[in-house]
Structure 1
Amino acid sequence: MIVVTRLNGTRFAVNPDLIERVHASPDTYLVMVDGTTYVVSESMDTVIDLIARYRARVVATARSLSDEVAPRLSLVPDPHPRDVQGAGLVPELTTAAVPTVLHPAP
C-alpha cells in the first residue's frame, strides 16, 4: 500500500496495483481500475516514486524470504493405492497420473 493525502489533509492508503492511471491537471488524480477517482495533494512524480518504492520493497521482501531455508519435501507413497487393474486401465499409463502426497522430510 502507498499512503497519499487528500486535499483536505487526511491521509489514506491505496493499493498501487489497483491504480489504472494518474492524471495531473493541475491537481493529481488517481483513477482506479473500478473507475473510482481520488484527488491527492502529491504530485504525479511523487505518486510514481511511491509506487516504484512500494514495488521495490515487495521484490526485496520476496527475495529475503527466498533466502531463508525452505522446508524440504519428500515423496511419500499413496496410503490408498488406486486399483488401476480393476478399472480396466493400463498401469504403465496411469501410474504417472496418480497423485503423490508430499510431506516435509524428517
Structure 2
Amino acid sequence: MVTLTRLNGKQFTLNAIYIEQVESFPDTTITLTNNKKLVVKESIAEVNEKVCAYYQSINVLGLRRDMEE
C-alpha cells in the first residue's frame, strides 16, 4: 500500500497492485485497472518511488529494503 495526497490535501492509501498507469497532465493522474482515475499532488517520480518501495517490501522486486544491507 502507498500513501498519496489528493489535491485538496487529504491523504489516502492505495493498493499499488491496482495501478495501471501514471501520467502528468500537468497534475499527476493515476489510472487504476478498473479505469478509475485519481489525481494526486505527488510527482510521477515520487509515485514510482513509493510503488517500488512497496513492491520491495512485499518482496516482488527482489530483495526487501530491510535485507539490502
Coordinate RMSD, CA, aligned: 1.5
Task: Between the two structures, name the one with larger relative contact order (CA 8 Å, sep ≥ 6).
Answer: 2
1:11 is matched with 11
Read off the aligned partner of 2:38 and give its amino acid letter: Y
Length, aligned pairs only? 62
Choose between structure 1 and 2: higher strand proportion: 2
Larger Rg: 1 or 2?
1
TM-score by length of 1: 0.56
Amino-acid identity (%): 32
Q: Give the 4+ runs in structure 1 shifted more than 4 A.
A: none
Task: Give the Cα–Cα distance (whole angstroms) in 2 for the partners of residues 24 and 47 of structure 1.
Answer: 11
> Gapped runs of 5+ residues in structure 1?
64-106
Deviation at 1:25, TM superposition (A): 1.5
Gap regions ≥5 residues in structure 2: none
Structure 2 length normalisation: TM-score?
A: 0.84
Matches within 5 A, 1:70-81: none
